[in-house]
């Protein structure tokens, strides 16, 4: 029996000819990532274990993206601890206020992850980089500490589910709708500790931003990782950012999958996940009358330039509904600057939106858009658990940038056709 994409990457990094699902391996890492919440714990564990240097100064990244600019004294202390550690260890890829971006948008943008690489990060959405053909997965802070010190980590090789994509998305439908559709179909534990592998002729019709969004939310189906077959779209993206050599791995024709799903992209409708799980999905025509108080357009899921362009097209010449707060958060400094130079900020501000510096902020109930009891938000983020964005009696509805922008104008969850 052959191997899947994920299994081939793991085998190569473990120095093995072959691995099988369930096998325990120790593999060499290409990147170890932490942020301002998880890195302090890892640093403390690193020091407690007696380590005095990182395995590779260029293969450790720390991104101060959750509570920066520092929202309070505790956040300031966490970032200082990371800053001091990075200075001491000579960590090259340390990003702080002014250079920071939302980590899972920043690393691909900087060319720090590439096809065929093995990446761990002390953040569950590290699976984002599978969009580029890498095996990337979230780990705990202790594993991050060990990875920083040794350049290796233990893995249990996952089995896989294959998603064969065909067709082309309709107007205003995006990768966010595809992944919400899939999670609604298989459930939040439908891919538990499995690799979600995406391929098929429909792949060419998905942008890198679509793929990054979909891989990002693989964890919301319980997956160990999400990974896309590398094609011309991938290599074009990497060619502009990655100068080192990388290797492309493709699944064997006889690779074994626990299940295979055929997804016709042309049949996907705009989709909304209702509280309090990403699997509670409804297509936009099933939503009904749901009034809202806030809209957030941003995050590691949907804060990229393509997302902001879509939102601006809908908001242009319109006004955010009275009583609704619309917060737009470009995911990186580069995206922020590009959006500004394209005139998108003018559109957002004229519509009555607030535009923020890059931050994870409201996604995890950190800052820059916390919900009060009884409030509802439409968000382009990835989680809508109880209390995720503020008070435990608030509600978060997950949607694409198109639906979020339309909802901001309508003052309720709305399709684009309702406001244009």
- 8-state DSSP, 54: -
Q: What is the CATH number of domain 5-265?
A: 3.30.499.10
> Which structure tokens are listed for 15?
């120095």
Any idea where the domains of the chain sit in the sequence? 5-265, 273-415
Task: Identify whether the C-beta of residue 119 lies closer than 8 Å to the C-beta of residue 134.
Answer: yes
Contacts 24+ apart (CB under 8 A), 366-373: 366/66, 366/67, 366/71, 367/67, 367/71, 368/327, 368/329, 369/294, 369/296, 369/325, 369/327, 371/293, 371/294, 371/395, 371/396
- Residue from 13, 213, 194 nearest 117 by CA: 13
106-119 pLDDT tens trace: 999 999 999 999 99
Task: Specify the pLDDT at position 1.
Answer: 82
What's the CATH fold of domain 273-415?
Aconitase; domain 3 (3.30.499)
The Cα–Cα gap between 153 and 231 comes to 28
Task: Identify whether the C-beta of residue 167 lies closer than 8 Å to the C-beta of residue 267.
Answer: yes
Angle separating helix axes 401-410 and 305-315, nearest 10 degrees: 30
122-175 pLDDT tens trace: 999 999 999 999 999 999 999 999 999 999 999 999 999 999 999 999 999 999
Cα–Cα separations (whole angstroms), residue 73 to 44, 76, 102, 174, 391:
19, 5, 21, 39, 22
Q: For the residues 400-406, what does the mean pLDDT come to?
A: 98
Q: For the residues 281-286, what does the mean pLDDT come to?
A: 96
Task: Specify the pLDDT at position 212.
Answer: 98
The Cα–Cα gap between 90 and 227 comes to 31
Task: Identify whether the C-beta of residue 258 lies closer than 8 Å to the C-beta of residue 247.
Answer: no
332-391 pLDDT tens trace: 999 999 999 999 999 999 999 999 999 998 888 889 999 999 999 999 999 999 999 999
Task: Specify the pLDDT at position 314.
Answer: 98
The Cα–Cα gap between 150 and 345 comes to 44
In the predicted structure, residue 52 carries a pLDDT above the cut 90: yes
The Cα–Cα gap between 110 and 345 comes to 23
Task: Identify whether the C-beta of residue 194 lies closer than 8 Å to the C-beta of residue 258.
Answer: yes
Task: Specify the pLDDT at position 353.
Answer: 98
Task: Identify whether the C-beta of residue 315 lies closer than 8 Å to the C-beta of residue 408.
Answer: yes
Burial 38-60 (b: 16+ CB within 10 A, else e): bbbbbbebbeeeebeebbeeebb
Cα–Cα separations (whole angstroms), residue 296 to 56, 115, 278, 359, 407:
37, 31, 16, 12, 11
More confident residue, 398 or 68: 398
Altogether, the residues listed in the chain come to a count of 420
Confidence of residue 43 (pLDDT cuts 50, 70, 90): very high
Does the pTM of the predicted model rise above 0.85? yes
> Which structure tokens are listed for 91?
């960590």
What percentage of residues in the chain have a pLDDT greater than 90?
97
The residue with tokens 């929202």 is 71
Task: Specify the pLDDT at position 8.
Answer: 98
Torsion of CA 75, 80, 82, 87, to 10 degrees: 160
Q: For the residues 282-295, what does the mean pLDDT come to?
A: 96
Q: What is the mean pLDDT of the chain?
A: 96
Task: Identify whether the C-beta of residue 60 lies closer than 8 Å to the C-beta of residue 88.
Answer: no
Query: Half-sphere exposure of residue 303, counting CA atoms within 13 Å on the CB side?
Result: 34
């Amino acid at each position: 029996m052959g191997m899947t994409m994920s299994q081939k990457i793991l085998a190569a990094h473990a120095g093995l000819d072959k691995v099988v699902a369930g096998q325990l391996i120790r593999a060499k890492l290409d990147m170890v990532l932490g942020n301002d919440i998880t890195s302090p714990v890892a640093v403390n564990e690193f020091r407690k274990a007696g380590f005095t240097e990182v395995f590779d100064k260029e293969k450790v990244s720390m991104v101060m993206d959750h509570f920066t600019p520092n929202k309070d004294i505790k956040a300031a202390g966490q970032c200082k601890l990371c800053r001091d550690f990075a200075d001491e260890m000579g960590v090259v890829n340390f990003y702080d206020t002014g250079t920071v971006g939302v980590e899972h948008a920043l690393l691909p943008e900087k060319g720090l992850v590439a096809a065929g690489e093995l990446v761990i990060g002390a953040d569950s959405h590290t699976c984002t980089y599978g969009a580029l053909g890498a095996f990337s997965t979230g780990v705990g802070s202790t594993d991050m500490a060990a990875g920083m010190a040794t350049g290796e980590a233990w893995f249990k090789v996952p089995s896989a589910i294959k998603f064969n994509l065909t067709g082309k998305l309709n107007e205003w439908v995006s990768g966010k709708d595809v992944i919400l559709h899939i999670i609604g179909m298989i459930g939040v534990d439908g891919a538990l500790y499995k690799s979600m592998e995406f391929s098929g002729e429909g792949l060419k019709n998905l942008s890198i931003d679509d793929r990054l969004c979909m891989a990002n939310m693989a964890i919301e189906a319980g997956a160990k990782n999400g990974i896309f077959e590398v094609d011309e779209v991938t290599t074009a993206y990497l060619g502009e950012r990655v100068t080192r050599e990388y290797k492309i791995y493709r699944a064997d024709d006889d690779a074994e999958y626990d299940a295979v799903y055929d997804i016709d992209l042309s049949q996907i409708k705009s989709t909304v996940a209702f509280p309090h799980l990403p699997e509670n999905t409804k297509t936009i025509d099933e939503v009904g009358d749901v009034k809202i108080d806030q809209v957030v357009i941003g995050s590691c899921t949907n804060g990229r330039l393509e997302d902001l362009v879509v939102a601006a097209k809908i908001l242009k010449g319109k006004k955010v509904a009275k009583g609704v707060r619309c917060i737009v958060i470009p995911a990186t400094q580069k995206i922020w600057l590009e959006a500004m130079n394209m005139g998108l900020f003018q559109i957002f501000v004229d519509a009555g939106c607030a535009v923020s510096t890059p931050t994870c902020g409201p996604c995890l109930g950190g800052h820059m858009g916390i919900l009060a009891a009884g409030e509802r938000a439409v968000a382009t983020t990835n989680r809508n658990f109880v209390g995720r964005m503020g008070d435990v009696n608030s509600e978060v509805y997950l949607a694409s940038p198109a639906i979020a922008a339309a909802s901001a104008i309508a003052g309720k969850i709305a399709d684009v056709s309702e406001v244009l």
